[in-house]
């Protein structure tokens, strides 16, 4: 594969623009309290279904066709934000996230369908179990993180209908850094 023509891609569920804007305001306030190195740009907020990584032009074309087939058979479902948490060391987490609740069976089934459809193209499933979340920030800069701080943070009650998946490309050094390559609507 020619590295010059490869793109760094992933498949995700976008949140409605109004929610991303509200979460952006929440992030502005919260980042004053929690010293994470990188906070997510509001337009980059999403729920990842499958990280693909380096993607050739041929794989990209096959991925678009596979996602079109999967999403043409998917009905919309509801999700909402459910609490806050972290991944990584308890005193110095690497990821700060918002959880999701709602029709999680539908979400997990969609994620499995996407992974199954993309595996033959060269994108095998991750070895870790799927843990749907919305990344808010990365790399806590101190070593004194106290998880009890999360109890005092109120992210709000966001509920939405998931009606499409998006194939994104990551362009490092830009903000926002995730750019839509294709949008795949679900059936009504």
Q: Is 128 exposed, middle or buried (0-12, 13-18, 19+ CB in 10 A)?
A: exposed
The whole-number average pLDDT for the span 141-156 is: 84
The catalytically annotated residue of 46, 50, 154, 179 is 46
Nearest Cα residue to 84 out of 153, 37, 159, 157: 153
DSSP letter, residue 144: -
Nearest-angstrom CA–CA distance, 17 and 162: 12
Rg (CA), the chain: 17
The catalytically annotated residue of 41, 50, 133, 154 is 133
Question: Which residues, other chains included, contact 135 with Cβ-Cβ below 8 Å and sequence gap of 6+?
Answer: 40, 95, 96, 97
Note if the pTM is more than 0.75. Answer: yes
**Which pLDDT band holds residue 1 (cuts at 50, 70, 90)?**
very low
Give the domain CATH number at 33. 3.90.1140.10
Residue 50 appears among annotated catalytic residues: no
Residue 41 appears among annotated catalytic residues: no
**Which pLDDT band holds residue 147 (cuts at 50, 70, 90)?**
confident
Q: How many domains does the chain have?
A: 1
Residue 165 and residue 4 in contact, taking contact as beta carbons nearer than 8 Å: no
**Which pLDDT band holds residue 157 (cuts at 50, 70, 90)?**
confident
The whole-number average pLDDT for the span 99-112 is: 97
Length of the chain: 188
Nearest Cα residue to 87 out of 44, 135, 119: 135
Domain hosting residue 175, numbered range? 3-185
Q: Is the pLDDT reported for residue 110 higher than 80? A: yes
């Amino acid at each position: 594969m020619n590295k010059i023509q490869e793109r760094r891609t992933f498949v995700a569920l976008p949140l409605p623009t109004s929610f991303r804007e509200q979460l952006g305001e929440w992030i502005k306030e919260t980042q004053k309290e929690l010293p994470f190195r990188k906070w997510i740009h509001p337009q980059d907020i999403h729920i990842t279904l499958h990280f693909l990584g380096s993607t050739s032009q041929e794989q990209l074309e096959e991925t678009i066709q596979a996602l079109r087939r999967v999403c043409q058979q998917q009905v919309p479902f509801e999700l909402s934000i459910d609490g806050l948490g972290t991944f990584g060391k308890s005193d110095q987490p690497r990821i700060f996230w918002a959880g999701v609740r709602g029709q999680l069976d539908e979400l997990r089934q969609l994620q499995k369908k996407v992974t199954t459809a993309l595996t033959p193209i060269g994108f095998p499933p991750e070895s870790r179990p799927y843990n749907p979340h919305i990344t808010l920030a990365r790399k806590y800069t101190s070593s004194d993180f106290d998880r009890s701080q999360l109890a005092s943070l109120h992210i709000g009650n966001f509920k939405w209908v998931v009606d499409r998946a998006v194939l994104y490309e990551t362009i490092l050094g830009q903000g926002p850094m995730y750019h839509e390559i294709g949008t795949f609507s679900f059936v009504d």
